[in-house]
Amino acid sequence: MSRESSVPKSSAILTCKHEAVEPLGLNAGVEFLRCPSCGAVIVTDGNVRLAIPPVRAAG
Ligand SMILES: [Zn+2]
């Protein structure tokens, strides 16, 4: 029943559709967006869309 809560948060990026993204900026034709839902940074370059999971500093 509580199995879902045991899933690591980083896996949310795999199921998140990144629909409500916030624009971060534009650099050399590459658009950077951030998804508040999963914390991922979305990099959009033409037809390529890359989701970068949030990186937490060790310690
Ligand atoms: Zn997302």
pLDDT at 13: 64
pLDDT at 24: 95
CA 59 to ligand 1 centroid distance, Å:
24
pLDDT at 55: 75
CA 3 to ligand 1 centroid distance, Å:
21
CA 58 to ligand 1 centroid distance, Å:
22
What amino acid occupies position 24?
A: L
Q: Print pLDDT tens along the chain (59 aa).
A: 555 555 556 667 678 888 899 999 999 999 999 999 889 999 999 999 999 888 777 76
Per-domain residue ranges of the chain:
3-52
pLDDT at 8: 53
Instruction: Compute the distance between CA of residue 25 and CA of residue 12 in angstroms, rounded to an integer.
Output: 23
Contacts of 46 (CB under 8 A, 6+ apart): 29
Alpha helices (H) along the chain: 12-15
CA 12 to ligand 1 centroid distance, Å:
7
CA 46 to ligand 1 centroid distance, Å:
19
